Structure 1
Amino acid sequence: MKIKLEHGAGGELMEELIRTVILKNIKISSAGGIGLEALDDGATIPLGDEHIVFTIDGHTVKPIFFPGGDIGRLAVSGTVNDLAVMGAKPLALASSLIIGEGFEVSDLERILKSMNDTAQEVPVPIITGDTKVVEDEIGIFVITAGVGITQRPITDSGAKIGDLVLVSGTIGDHGIALMSHREGISFETELKSDVSPIWDVVEAVAKEIGWENIHAMKDPTRGGLSNALNEMARKANVGILVRENDIPIKPEVKAASEMLGISPYEVANEGKVVMIVSKEYGEDALEAMKKLEKGKNAAIIGEVIKEYPGKVILETGIGGKRFMEPPIGDPVPRVC
């Protein structure tokens, strides 16, 4: 078997690669807390009454500068968001740069300034790193690792029957913006990536309803909303019913998706969180999101059900129902 692009796209092929190749060859995969075998957004290390949360991510986006952001903002946001959806306050980041020979120093400075600006938004310091230059014309790859701390780790497998499912804003923005940019599709309103750190959104909800009432979270990056929901349903062995009419999508994203033949449910978002909370706190969680600019389009999109365990059911706009299947691979490669 040879590695294909689809193996790194966040869909079923990637999960198969991780389970049948990576996990099989890593024998020590836990430090006493949530480990690699959980396939969550990060891992935990128990430390007294608290837990250190650790995560790492590689970023290979093409182009490296895109409407609404760049690879630097993406790298910091992606790592902060992996910590946030596990309930961890970001403490520090590390960064490794792999730079192709001939890369413009001015572009490198632009990326570094973007990383710095994004980190200051959180805020979180970038405290260490590594730099390599290779002879290949790869442009630049940015790898970021993050450390956070929490008293109550949240996994993506904690959904309970009766819980409500929320998303913090419009979906499909990042992947469709990049694909439209690549294909030269333009609209009166420019499509922009949603790339942004979401710790403030998560923290606002937790302060409003308590960490104990947030049962599961995931940032819908590779594979999009569809992949995130399917993972949460499968890991908790519950069904998730979502209503198409309640899923927030920008009109221009919907139009571009139709033109490109791509489902907005299956492409990456880089500034959103999917959150599953206790039913009685759903409206409070929603209001907490909506008080923030980046959560103004938040919505309750569905609920956790006992039927169809491990599956996601989409109630269509005309009242029908169908399975929302996870993608095999990402229809828009190199977007994160």
Structure 2
Amino acid sequence: MTVASRPSPSRLRGGRVTLAHGGGGRAMRVLIDELFTSVFKPDSAEDQARLMTPALQQPGARLALTTDGYVVTPVEFPGGDIGKIAVCGTINDLAVGGAVPLWLSASFIIEEGCDIALLRRLVASMAREADAAGVSIVTGDTKVVEKGSCDTVFITTSGVGVIAPGDDLRAEHIRPGDVAIVNGMLGDHGATILAARGDLALSAPLQSDCRSLGHLMQAVLTACPGLRAARDATRGGLASALNEMAMAAGVSVELDESALPIRPEVRGMCEILGLDPLYLANEGALVLFVPQAEADAALAAMRSVPAGQGAAVVGRAAARGTVPVTMRSAFGGTRIVDMLVGEQLPRIC
């Protein structure tokens, strides 16, 4: 998305994207000016963003960089859309590493014939979420491909943030006795997308949990100097996130089924379809580990921000066992919680 120094005198005509909008000429200039730069308002008219922040002047401060592609279907759903996910997902990848998210790039692959009104809604959604998170969308790119080459629109975002001196969140830091805490309900996003596709004639009053977690993570970092690690529970859900963390740390994690915050509607949908809510994708849920002595402080910090008001202790780390993650059931038994094999739901984020 090459930015322009001033608006084009032409106006965006028609209700659909055409191949001319990706051809590099006047039509593309008009599309970019009216649809993207007028909303994101980048500072530079160059092909690159030039970034500076006082936080980088602190000795020991580090840059964090992440990138991700988003191909969710449908592109709009209760609680969000592909644009909101593209912003939140990349912000959250930075935040769980202890970084303060500051800048994003956004690259759009748009299918010929895409509704321009839809694109306007997606771009506005991205701008709202970035503004709320204190993040700037500073550069990007736009491509238009022939009809059938992609599904409406794909978005790739990259994010840059700054990790403060002394902060070093890594799964390897988790120790036996540490407490596992989630910030709220699990499985809402996966269940919402499944219902929104309409293939199974399921209906439930669900909304995606899609949200940015930067403010929540900064609250926990301030309150809990011993915070070990955090991970957002996206594809593969809580189960996969915990398996990855346990294997990296060389510990086992013991979950308490009765403590898991899962809506009855999500449980019911999973029972009907033979799914496990622990593997459903989330777009606004994370799990973090803190020492037992800081568990109450972490819970209070998380509950002080909207994205963490449902925070709950769901388990704890133990000495390494024969399997990375187990769960104590409501009936007193124990079962293995393995990594997700394959994909429960494709095109989820």
For 1:289, the equivalent position in structure 2 comes to 302
Deviations 1:140-168 (A, max 9, x none): 00000000001223123321111000000
Whether 1:71 aligns to 2:86 is: no
For 1:170, the equivalent position in structure 2 comes to 185
Whether 1:120 aligns to 2:131 is: yes
Whether 1:329 aligns to 2:342 is: yes
Q: Aligned pair in 2 of structure 1 residues 149, 309: CA closer, same or farther (>3 Å)?
A: farther
For 1:109, the equivalent position in structure 2 comes to 120
Equivalent residues in 2 for 1:192-231 (5 A)?
192-210=207-225, 213-231=226-244
Report the AA paired with residue 72 of structure 2: V
Report the AA paired with residue 122 of structure 1: A
The counterpart of 1:84, out of the listed 90, 95, 98, is 95
Equivalent residues in 2 for 1:146-185 (5 A)?
146-150=159-163, 151=165, 152-182=167-197, 183-185=200-202
Deviations 1:243-293 (A, max 9, x none): 000110011111111122211100110001100011100111011112222
How far does residue 329 in structure 1 lie from its aligned partner after superposition? 2.0
Query: Which SS does the other structure have where 1:147 is aligned?
Result: strand
Query: Which SS does the other structure have where 1:111 is aligned?
Result: helix
Q: Distance in 1 between matches of 2:108 and 2:322?
A: 42
Preserved contact between residue 250 and residue 320 of structure 2 (Cα < 8 Å): no
How far does residue 180 in structure 1 lie from its aligned partner after superposition? 1.7
For 2:251, the equivalent position in structure 1 comes to 238
Q: Aligned pair in 2 of structure 1 residues 180, 83: CA closer, same or farther (>3 Å)?
A: same
Deviations 1:91-127 (A, max 9, x none): 1000000011111111111100000000011010000
Q: Distance in 2 between matches of 1:241 and 1:175?
A: 24
For 1:93, the equivalent position in structure 2 comes to 104
Whether 1:134 aligns to 2:151 is: no
How far does residue 315 in structure 1 lie from its aligned partner after superposition? 0.6
Report the AA paired with residue 201 of structure 2: G
Q: Distance in 2 between matches of 1:156 and 1:73?
A: 27
Report the AA paired with residue 175 of structure 1: G
* 4+ aligned runs moved over 3 Å, structure 1: none
Percent of matched pairs sharing the same residue? 39
Q: Distance in 1 between matches of 2:292 and 2:313?
A: 11
> Which stretches in structure 2 are left out of the alignment for 5+ residues?
1-55
Deviations 1:224-248 (A, max 9, x none): 0000000000111100001000110
Report the AA paired with residue 317 of structure 1: A
Preserved contact between residue 60 and residue 142 of structure 1 (Cα < 8 Å): yes
For 2:71, the equivalent position in structure 1 comes to 60
Query: Which SS does the other structure have where 1:82 is aligned?
Result: helix
How far does residue 200 in structure 1 lie from its aligned partner after superposition? 1.2
Query: Which SS does the other structure have where 1:201 is aligned?
Result: helix
Q: Distance in 2 between matches of 1:204 and 1:106?
A: 37
Q: Distance in 1 between matches of 2:171 and 2:96?
A: 8
Report the AA paired with residue 168 of structure 1: N
Report the AA paired with residue 233 of structure 2: P
Query: Which SS does the other structure have where 1:214 is aligned?
Result: coil
Q: Distance in 2 between matches of 1:226 and 1:66?
A: 24
**Higher mean C-alpha deviation, range 214-223 or range 176-185:** 176-185
Query: Which SS does the other structure have where 1:175 is aligned?
Result: helix
Preserved contact between residue 239 and residue 278 of structure 2 (Cα < 8 Å): yes
How far does residue 191 in structure 1 lie from its aligned partner after superposition? 0.6
Query: Which SS does the other structure have where 1:118 is aligned?
Result: helix
Preserved contact between residue 75 and residue 82 of structure 2 (Cα < 8 Å): yes
Q: Distance in 1 between matches of 2:143 and 2:314?
A: 44
Deviations 1:21-70 (A, max 9, x none): xxxxxxxxxxxxxxxxxxxxxxxx9x951110000000000000011100
For 1:316, the equivalent position in structure 2 comes to 329
> Which stretches in structure 1 are left out of the alignment for 5+ residues?
1-44
Deviations 1:55-87 (A, max 9, x none): 000000000001110000000000000000000
Query: Which SS does the other structure have where 1:157 is aligned?
Result: helix
Preserved contact between residue 237 and residue 310 of structure 1 (Cα < 8 Å): no
Query: Which SS does the other structure have where 2:293 is aligned?
Result: helix
How many aligned residue pairs are there? 288
Query: Which SS does the other structure have where 1:242 is aligned?
Result: strand
Q: Distance in 2 between matches of 1:293 and 1:203?
A: 13
Q: Aligned pair in 2 of structure 1 residues 309, 116: CA closer, same or farther (>3 Å)?
A: farther
